[in-house]
Amino acid sequence: MYVVLGASGNTGSVVATNLLGQGQRVRVVGRNAAHLQRLATAGAEVFVGDITDASALTKAFQEADSAYVMIPPNPASNDFRAYQDRATDAIAAAVQKAGVKNVVALSSFGGDKASGTGPVAGLHDLEQKLNQIGGANVLSLRAGYFMENTLPQANVIRMAGSVIGPLNANLKLPMIAARDIGAAAATALAGLAFHGQQTQELHGQRDLDYTEATSILGQAIGKPDLKYIQAPDSQMRGALLQMGMSENFVGLMFEMFAALNGGYMQALEPRSASNTTPTKFETFVAEEFLPAYRQQTAA
The pLDDT of residue 297: 80
pLDDT-above-90 percentage for the chain: 98
**Mean pLDDT on 28-39:** 96
Radius of gyration of the chain (CA): 19
C-alpha 207/C-alpha 109 separation (Å) is 13
**Mean pLDDT on 228-235:** 95
The beta-strand segments (E) located in the chain are 2-4, 26-30, 45-48, 66-69, 102-108, 137-143, 145-146, 163-165, 173-176, 197-202, 206-208, 228-230
The pLDDT of residue 298: 80
Distance of alpha carbon 56 from the chain centroid: 23
Q: What is the pLDDT of residues 64-76, one digit of tens each?
A: 999 999 999 999 9
Q: What is the pLDDT of residues 165-180, one digit of tens each?
A: 999 999 999 999 999 9
The pLDDT of residue 7: 97
Mean pLDDT taken over the chain? 97
**Mean pLDDT on 254-265:** 98
pTM score, whole prediction: 0.97
Residue 173, exposed/middle/buried by CB under 10 A (0-12, 13-18, 19+)?
buried
C-alpha 82/C-alpha 280 separation (Å) is 35
The pLDDT of residue 126: 98
Alpha helices in 138-232 (DSSP H): 153-160, 178-191, 210-221
pLDDT bin (cut points 50, 70, 90) of residue 195 is very high
C-alpha 132/C-alpha 177 separation (Å) is 30
Residue 36 has pLDDT above 90, yes or no: yes
The pLDDT of residue 97: 98
C-alpha 222/C-alpha 270 separation (Å) is 35
The pLDDT of residue 200: 98
Contact yes or no for 182/13 (Cβ under 8 A):
yes
